[in-house]
Structure 1
Amino acid sequence: MKLLKDPFCVFLILLFSIFTILQCNKPNQPLQDDLVEVKNAVFKNNELFLAQIDELIALVSKDADNKTVQKKFDSLRQTYKKMEWAVEYFLPHSARFINGPALPEIEMAEHVEIEPEGLQVLEEMLYSEEKQNKAEVIRILKKLTNKGNTIKTNFQVITVTKDQTFDALRQQIFRISSLGIAGFDTPISGKFLEEMPVSLESLKSVLNLISTEKSQNSSLKKIVSEIDQSKQFLNLNKDKNTFNYLEFISVHLNPLSSLLLDFRTEENIPNVEVLTALRKNAGNFYSRDAFDVNAFVPGKQYEMSPEKVQLGKQLFNDKILSENNTRSCATCHNAEKAFTDGLEKSMSLANSKLQRNTPSLNYSAFQHGQFWDMRKDDLEGQSSDVITNKEEMHGDLQSIILKINQNKNYQTAFKKIFKTEKAEVWQLQNLLASYIRSLAAFNSDFDEYMRGNKNAMTEKQKKGFNLFMGKAQCAICHFLPLFNGTVPPNYKKTEQEVLGVAENSSNKKLDSDLGRGKFHETVAFLQKSFKTPTLRNISKTAPYMHNGSYKTLQEVMEFYNNGGGKGFNLKVENQTLSDAKLNLSQNEIAEIIEFLNALTDR
């Protein structure tokens, strides 16, 4: 107390207080105010969500007819869509078990499966042609109640700030523009076109809660108008097989996501400073440089640079990496063939066939899991695995580094980039990986179309895209805009699928390759599963599938059109691909293939 009587101490305390106030009001500082109105909106929707679950339990218990149960379930899903933006962003683990795929969750380290639950599991049950297992439906509904209570509990204690809320809403528009528009979470009922207006309306209502007068008169006004126009477009056609996906994405969703950046600027909302695959300043999925490949590197020291790419390219083409200097990476990864080799299966050093087809390196940087079986987490691990494989390059990393350190040009180049006296193994791995990470041009005719050049695609390709999104259901696994299995909008996970691929395109006998299952023998779900690769540049990467046994895209499309392995009566108990026939005509198949040609980089 005596210190407060000292004028100098009082002055210091006053000065510190002023400095603290200034710092708290400094531009671009995170906004720490808890948005009570936003949280209350989540609480309100969650209360309705829980009440609708109770109503569903009552209906199922009383053996209500299927149409009544399905209608109530559809309402439950739409209620979730009103708060999906918040749950997915703030409670991603809970979101996975509320509305994740109806597939087991895998704990890789423990080699165990966690049973699926949530809305997609219920959809399979309630829209199945088979008689419902009433007890099982009620059990899953009660588990969903527990997850709903988790939402309530967590949102009571977390702080929801303006910058986080905007970031979550921005993620939601990208979720709508990829998973939503593909019908990812309604694969059985196909009700996604009816749900999308609800998702879009939720964006509008929350933006209203966090806006000020300035944006209300400018950017928000434009956003509201665009959302209303989008809803009108959706209301014109709810048939997923005839809906114009290309027009809706290019004319409505892309401009809408770009308008959100204008809102952020007007509201002076700082970015949430977290490195993400989708750059914070990307107006839409198809903006130039929308994706940051550094979000997929194992650490900051591995980040890509032009110098690393240049030296990595030189090493990629240098036979110094193999035993007796007989083979380079480029031997099996030809740039003219989208970095594949055009062969059914890779060839060993002894010129014998290996087990699998050589995968394209284009866009492989945007995947968590390398090789068909995903046995390596990143491109650094991938490069060393190939170099040291006795059948592929049979190199020795320590011997290679010794050669590099004895080469004055390489020694100088390594030192300039890494600031070390001698080259190290991790640096070699990183240089090769950096070059591979540069192999994503995003300049196909499809990309140009999405950037505004309406003459970039033919009418046949446009029809093919709409079939790809709708009737053929390709985008459920090959997510826009990367067209691979890395799940948007967070891009934290790459999916694998069990297709039931046969030994060859006659589809008479199941291929024996266990794929990812080889490394997880006790996990039934992963047996014969393989990474979902990108479809970009697919016109250059024949033959197809992990075993290279499908020589043309026509053969691949016939396989999918019949429902995968199960559709050909192959025994694939854990097939994740729907075995329902797509009923695509030959003309429709030709249009889809034409669209796939539009994914070739220029």
Structure 2
Amino acid sequence: MKKLSKYPILLFLYAAAALLILSYCKNEKPQPVYEDLGSVKKEIIKNNSEFEKQINELIGLVQKNADQKSLQKKFEDLRKTYKKMEWAVEYFLPNSARFINGPALPEIEMDEHTEIEAEGLQVLEEMFYPYDQANKEEVIRFLKKLINKSNTIDTNFQVITVSKNQVFDAVRQEAFRISSLGISGFDTPISGTFLQEIPYSLEGIKQTLQQISTDQSKDQSLKRINIEISSAIKVLKNNTDKNTFDYISFIPDHLNKITSLLLKFKKQEQIPDIEVTTALNKNAATFFSKNAFNPDAFTPGKEFAFSKEKAALGQQLFNDKILSNNNNRSCSTCHNPEKAFTDGLAKSMSLDNAELARNAPSLNYAGFQHGQFWDMRKDDLEGQSSDVISNKEEMHGDLNVILAKINQDKKYREAFKKIYPSQKTEVWQLQNVLASYIRSLAKFNSDFDEYMRGNKSAMTENQKRGFNLFVGKAQCAICHFVPLFNGTVPPTFKKTEQEVLGVAINGDNKVFDRDLGRGKFHETVPTLQHSFKTPTLRNISKTAPYMHNGGYKTLKDVMNFYNKGGGKGFGFTVENQTLSDAPLQLSDQEIDDIIDFMRALDDR
């Protein structure tokens, strides 16, 4: 793989062939063939040429020992140029995009237990804000690596075919990226210049739609999209202060309107869907539309697809003690629906009434994660259920024994036969129905969802201020991504992140918690030591106590921890802490407002 990366054309052709084979194996519908959109590619190549030119200019300024202000100005211009073509790079060259504008954290090869050096714009941001001339050679080295990525963009877009439905899909994805990562400042956690950059992303969308549109949509849907984009840009230019920007109004009043109008444009242009299963449904007008998300994007395969019948059977088994060794414990023992499917304890209790190692996580929205348990040791909910059932301390069950008991029960035997008629009842089916029930627990009917769907009275003024703080000053949304509020990264939702916070054993923040988390399974990867999955904040007010160890009794305790700068802020030595150690400077009232907002995430 490392050798292939030196030859971008080869790498692209290899990936394209792999995707074609995968599509064939899954019996997916063949994609319609469109004439290659040369004008769109020319614009991408043009922007990339400017991008490379600005990189070289920035190298020249660094070599001439220019002052910090000049370097930062040139760097900000460079980022804005990238934003014009971000829609294309993220979609067609996602691997390159990760190393152009991904987080300033090493890329981890999980199977090989190794780290790949972080690079790109976010790494450079850390070097320019502030700038230290002692790092001059390192800055130049990373800028030259960025030139290599620019060359990859140019080479690939010279040869690949870009079709109309792909371009639309890419532009729509970019609109949702703005509505999540863009609006949260995920790309610029240090400089905080993201509000100045979003207009360039929007202009990129606007120009690209112009290139692929016909006269009919230019007079109708495209015209309306352009009006909305101009209106959004005007708001963004009127206030670029991330701490005072009105996010709670901007998303529904502008970004949601743009993504909704994109569907009308698609209909007018008669653009067919890309036939690939995605987490965000192709007909979702906004992130907050009812049934916007497809749980099947998180299943191990097509045979595991969600259905109401599977969920109903899974609910029966979830509450049945038949799953435990001695028929004395069910899944609901530790996952109480009244407590958002937690147990209210700091740490769950074993079969012998001894304290387990960690807090029971909520099962609400667990289906929208790639990685289950705090340490993410299982990829999906099917694996999660078998792990719990067979764990000697939790349920001490044997899946094959349980299956035999189920086959002896006429009611269960008939129910499984109805769902899986052509197969004998197998262990994977038991896992699948339990997982399907958990996937059904995502309701998306909170006051926040209602507000984003147009009901402006659904949230209080305190909650609105809390959301603005959550996204802006407190920077919560750069880890708990809107709209799932977990660590599954939008807009593709193909990866769930883990974080190193430097958590203490309890809210006193005096003793560091030595739990290695995900690092236990990757001992040679420094970045993963003491790392834990970023859970959803939906229904968070019902799931106290908090953190993986249940050591923080209240949301106030949690917010105080973050406000101080995590473990480093309390004096712990956490060299790999991913949470910024800069104090947030939140007042008591601001913390209360954020907590009040989080209550608006409770399902009804």
TM-score band by shorter chain is over 0.9
Distance 1:305 1:324 in 2: 30
Residue correspondence of structure 1 range 360-379 to structure 2 within 5 A: 360-379=362-381
* 3-state DSSP of counterpart to 1:279: coil
Q: Is the 8 A contact 1:566 1:572 kept in 2?
A: yes
What's 1:81 paired with?
A: 83
Shift of 1:419: 1.3
What's 1:503 paired with?
A: 505
Q: Is the 8 A contact 1:240 1:471 kept in 2?
A: yes
Change (3 A) 1:332 1:114: same
Q: Is the 8 A contact 1:482 1:534 kept in 2?
A: yes
Which residue of the other structure, out of 568, 571, 574, is the alignment partner of 2:573? 571
What's 2:467 paired with?
A: 465
Shift of 1:30: 1.8
Residue correspondence of structure 1 range 348-367 to structure 2 within 5 A: 348-367=350-369
What's 2:264 paired with?
A: 262
What's 2:515 paired with?
A: 513
Q: Deviations over 1:86-111 (max 9, x none)?
A: 00000000000000000000000000
Question: Which amino acid is the alignment partner of residue 446 of structure 1?
Answer: F
Which residue of the other structure, out of 295, 298, 314, is the alignment partner of 1:296? 298
Shift of 1:128: 2.6
The answer as to 2:537 corresponding to 1:542 is no
Moved over 6 A (4+): none
Q: Is the 8 A contact 2:68 2:131 kept in 1?
A: no
Which residue of the other structure, out of 244, 247, 258, is the alignment partner of 1:245? 247
Distance 2:231 2:586 in 1: 31
Shift of 1:187: 0.4
What's 1:156 paired with?
A: 158
What's 1:185 paired with?
A: 187
Q: Is the 8 A contact 1:538 1:599 kept in 2?
A: yes
Q: Is the 8 A contact 2:68 2:130 kept in 1?
A: no
What's 2:406 paired with?
A: 404
Q: Deviations over 1:378-411 (max 9, x none)?
A: 0000000000000000001111011011111111
Change (3 A) 1:189 1:403: same
Question: Which amino acid is the alignment partner of residue 395 of structure 1?
Answer: G
What's 2:489 paired with?
A: 487
What's 1:59 paired with?
A: 61
Gapped regions of structure 1 (runs ≥ 5): 1-27
What's 1:278 paired with?
A: 280
What's 2:223 paired with?
A: 221
Distance 2:237 2:131 in 1: 28
Change (3 A) 1:309 1:468: same
Shift of 1:32: 1.8
Change (3 A) 1:118 1:368: same
* 3-state DSSP of counterpart to 1:166: helix
Distance 1:406 1:490 in 2: 43
Q: Deviations over 1:396-434 (max 9, x none)?
A: 111101101111111111111111464211000001000
Q: Is the 8 A contact 2:563 2:585 kept in 1?
A: yes
Q: Is the 8 A contact 2:80 2:197 kept in 1?
A: yes
Question: Which amino acid is the alignment partner of residue 468 of structure 2?
Answer: N
Q: Is the 8 A contact 2:546 2:554 kept in 1?
A: yes
Which residue of the other structure, out of 326, 329, 335, is the alignment partner of 1:327? 329
Question: Which amino acid is the alignment partner of residue 511 of structure 1?
Answer: D
* 3-state DSSP of counterpart to 1:133: helix
* 3-state DSSP of counterpart to 1:465: helix
Shift of 1:236: 1.1
* 3-state DSSP of counterpart to 2:115: strand
Question: Which amino acid is the alignment partner of residue 373 of structure 2?
Answer: F
Shift of 1:61: 0.9
What's 2:141 paired with?
A: 139
Q: Is the 8 A contact 1:415 1:423 kept in 2?
A: yes
Rg (Cα) greater in structure: 1
Question: Which amino acid is the alignment partner of residue 82 of structure 2?
Answer: Y
Distance 1:421 1:82 in 2: 52
Which residue of the other structure, out of 579, 582, 587, is the alignment partner of 1:585? 587
* 3-state DSSP of counterpart to 1:106: strand
Q: Is the 8 A contact 1:500 1:564 kept in 2?
A: yes
What's 1:47 paired with?
A: 49
Distance 1:76 1:33 in 2: 32
Which residue of the other structure, out of 116, 120, 123, is the alignment partner of 1:121? 123
Gapped regions of structure 2 (runs ≥ 5): 1-29
Residue correspondence of structure 1 range 521-532 to structure 2 within 5 A: 521-532=523-534
* 3-state DSSP of counterpart to 1:423: coil
Question: Which amino acid is the alignment partner of residue 369 of structure 1?
Answer: G
Distance 1:348 1:359 in 2: 15
What's 2:26 paired with?
A: none
Shift of 1:235: 1.0
Shift of 1:157: 1.2
* TM-score, length basis structure 1: 0.95
* 3-state DSSP of counterpart to 1:325: coil
Q: Is the 8 A contact 1:125 1:132 kept in 2?
A: no
What's 2:4 paired with?
A: none
Change (3 A) 1:132 1:228: farther
Distance 1:218 1:560 in 2: 47
Which residue of the other structure, out of 212, 215, 228, is the alignment partner of 2:214? 212
* 3-state DSSP of counterpart to 1:89: helix
The answer as to 2:272 corresponding to 1:287 is no
Q: Is the 8 A contact 1:181 1:192 kept in 2?
A: yes
The answer as to 2:211 corresponding to 1:196 is no
* 3-state DSSP of counterpart to 2:326: helix
Q: Is the 8 A contact 1:464 1:591 kept in 2?
A: yes
Shift of 1:132: 4.5
* TM-score, length basis structure 2: 0.94
Q: Is the 8 A contact 1:411 1:422 kept in 2?
A: no
Q: Deviations over 1:541-562 (max 9, x none)?
A: 0000000000000000000000
Q: How many residues align?
A: 575
What's 1:24 paired with?
A: none
Q: Is the 8 A contact 1:31 1:163 kept in 2?
A: no
What's 2:390 paired with?
A: 388
Q: Is the 8 A contact 1:126 1:132 kept in 2?
A: no
What's 1:346 paired with?
A: 348
Q: Deviations over 1:443-489 (max 9, x none)?
A: 00000000111110000000000000000000000000000000000
Shift of 1:437: 0.4
Higher mean C-alpha deviation, range 169-178 or range 404-413? 404-413
Q: Is the 8 A contact 2:471 2:477 kept in 1?
A: yes
Q: Is the 8 A contact 1:414 1:420 kept in 2?
A: no
Q: Is the 8 A contact 1:31 1:162 kept in 2?
A: no
Question: Which amino acid is the alignment partner of residue 550 of structure 2?
Answer: G
Q: CA RMSD in A?
A: 0.9
